[in-house]
Amino acid sequence: MYIQVDNANTFIATGGKPFAAHLPTVVLLHGSGTDHRCWALQARWFAFHGYSVFAPDFPAHSLSEGEALTSIELMAAWLVRALDTTKVDKVHLVGHSQGFLVALEAAGLLGDRLKSVTALATASAIPVNPALVEMAQSNPKVAAEMMLQWGFGSPHQYGASSVPGMQPIGIGTRIMANNPLAIDLIACNAYEKGAEKARQLANIGCPSCVILAAQDRMTPKKEGFKLALDLNTAAQVIADSGHMLPMEAPKESLNLMKKFIQSLET
């Protein structure tokens, strides 16, 4: 669906079913330079199993218009404004990589509207190599390729695909090369409040779930374990997947996501 946020036409993927604010809502937040399509399969499952799905393209990403947001704080505030346009009350926040930094920051703004947080292939801080940022500024296509060479785990480097016949590296590079990757990376790099926000969530007893990828070279899993410690939860690790976890292991990641979220809804 398209909604207006800050007067900009904004795309929210709803998993193939109309958004219904009264249903338990799962918010799926994409990572740097990507878009809602990294959740294509997971979004459909939630939408067809009694949930409403709210998977935005952040401003200036893929199908959304507007100006790219330059910090995690601005993205979190934007997310809350976007959610408010739908009259949705309580939400489960799920974030991949940068998307989880946004979730951590948005958690404080949402207060008791937040039901849980789920982290995929991420950490509480995401330092980015300055050379990559520079490349993303000067040649986004090459930067996207560099990132995905690191981003995808070994099966995908050898052409694996969870959807038969597809080339996720090809799909990912095309999406990333046309999105404001450099701005996203700078925002990730600058965000230093992740660990503190995670500990605050643990202190108020917010349910959390951490799903890591064994072959993650962008946010190495030892950083993910630290995040889990801060959130006071146990991390679960998916084998044979790299950083692009939602695309690389949609079934395995969905199984853990849905088990956690379902446990809170029944």
Partner 1 sequence: MSKSSYLGADTIALHSGYQPESDHGSRAVPIYQTTSYVFDSVDEASALFNVEQGGHIYSRITNPTVAVLEQRLAALEGGAGAICTASGMSALFVSFFSLCSAGDHIVSAAQIYGSTVTLLKHSLKRFNIDCTFVDINDQQALGAAIQDNTKLVFCESIGNPGLAVSNLPAIAKTAHAQGIPLVVDATFATPYLNNPIEHGADVVVHSVTKWIGGHGVAVGGVVIDGGNFDWLKSGRFPTLTQPYEPFHGMNFWEEFGPAALAMRIRCESMRDIGAAMTPHNAFLLLQGLETLNLRMQQHVSNAQAMVTWLQTQDAVAWVNHPDINAEAHTKALFPKGAGSMLTFGVKGGRDAGAAFINALQLSSNLANVGDSRTLVLHPGSTTHSRLSEHDLIAAGIGADLIRVSVGIETLKDIQADFSLGLRAAAKILAQQAEA
Q: Which residues bind partner 1 (CB under 8 A)?
A: 11, 13, 16, 35, 37, 40-42, 44-45, 48, 62-63, 141, 144-145, 149, 155, 157-167, 169-171, 173-175, 177, 250-251, 254
Shortest reach from residue 116's CB to partner 1, in Å: 21
Q: Considering beta carbons, is residue 158 or 203 the nearer one to partner 1? A: 158
Q: Considering beta carbons, is residue 111 or 165 the nearer one to partner 1? A: 165
| Beta carbons within 8 Å of 60's beta carbon, 6+ residues apart | 66, 67, 68, 179, 180
Q: Considering beta carbons, is residue 143 or 206 the nearer one to partner 1? A: 143
Shortest reach from residue 37's CB to partner 1, in Å: 5
Cβ(67)–Cβ(48) below 8 Å:
no
Shortest reach from residue 225's CB to partner 1, in Å: 27
- Assign residue 66 a region (left: φ > 0; alpha: ψ between -120 and 50; beta: otherwise): left
Shortest reach from residue 266's CB to partner 1, in Å: 16
68 vs 20, 33, 65, 74, CA distance in Å? 27, 11, 9, 10
Q: Considering beta carbons, is residue 6 or 240 the nearer one to partner 1? A: 240
Shortest reach from residue 98's CB to partner 1, in Å: 19
DSSP 195-209: HHHHHHHHHTT--EE
Tokens of 141: 């296509």
Q: Considering beta carbons, is residue 163 or 204 the nearer one to partner 1? A: 163
* Among 89, 107, 126, 137, CA closest to 224: 126
